[in-house]
Amino acid sequence: MLSHPRFYWGETGNVLTPPLFKLPLPASRALVPTGYGYVLPDQNGWSRYLHFQAAWVVVLTGLLYIISSFFTGHLRKNLLPGKAGLSWRAFSMAIAKHLRFARPSAEEAWSYNLLQRLSYLFVIFVLFPLVIWTGLAMSPAFVSAVPATVTLLGGQQSARTIHFFVSLSLLLFLLVHVVMVCLAGFRSRMRAMITGRAGTHMEGT
């Protein structure tokens, strides 16, 4: 991103073609006219190695998570909204409650509320698959085997632009999550996440 902070739509894009938008950042390559007058040091080598290794971790653990959530009932019990939650009324009530920062009632605190369920489903079944798809669409070798990966998105530069926005959304989701964990009580939430047991039902501590 820093080596070319310009984004395009379609198949191709370079400094000779008009960008869709530019990030207000200096670049790590002298080729890119940013107007900042200096060039950042190149960090692409190791960060690309790290990126693609991390991609394998995401794909493999993600597959394991999705498959196991089908079989253990995690998806049905904890993620899919119940029948009652699928009405507009329930939805607007959940939003109103959320906007008032109302504290969850005692029984609600033990499961995910409607908004949580919907946002988790969106992250798991929309954002992650999309970030992997758009990533593969930028691979010249992968698209040689499966050209539809990139043509369905409208081109390799479109894939890069979508990849950028989806990864930004995932980053935002992560940051908001960390903030919420801190607000809800860092120690008890972390303990619950690691052990799988919520605070008052702790065993053996």
Partner 1 sequence: MSVLSRRKLIKTGLAAAAGVSGLGVAARIAQKYGLVPPDHGGVYGLGETLTYASQRLLTRHSLAREFSRSQISKPPLANEMPPLSDEFKRLQTGGFSDWRLSITGMAAQPASFSLDQLKSYPSQSQITMLQCEEGWSYIAEWIGVSLSHMLQVVEVHPQARYVVYYSIDPDWWESIDMADALHPQTFLAYGMNGDELPVGNGGPLRLRLPRQLGYKSVKFITHLTVTDSLKGFGKGLGSASPETGYAWYAGI
Given the rule CB under 8 A, which residues bind partner 1? 1, 3-4, 6, 11-17, 29-31, 44-46, 48-50, 52-56, 138-145, 147, 150, 156-157, 160
Task: Name residue 71's beta-bridge partners.
Answer: none
Q: How many CB atoms lie within 10 A of CB 135?
A: 22
* Of 46 and 101, CB closest to partner 1: 46
Least separation in angstroms between residue 134's CB and partner 1 is 13
Least separation in angstroms between residue 12's CB and partner 1 is 5
Least separation in angstroms between residue 202's CB and partner 1 is 21
Contact 195, 159 (CB under 8 A): no
Task: Name residue 165's beta-bridge partners.
Answer: none
* Of 118 and 143, CB closest to partner 1: 143
- Residue 60 burial by CB count (10 A; 0-12/13-18/19+): exposed, middle or buried? exposed
* Of 144 and 205, CB closest to partner 1: 144
* Of 104 and 147, CB closest to partner 1: 147
Least separation in angstroms between residue 87's CB and partner 1 is 45
Here the tokens at position 169 are: 């959304």
* Of 65 and 164, CB closest to partner 1: 164
Least separation in angstroms between residue 182's CB and partner 1 is 30
Q: What one-character-per-residue DSSP string does 128-182 give? A: HHHHHHHHHHT-HHHHHH-THHHHTTTSHHHHHHHHHHHHHHHHHHHHHHHHHHH
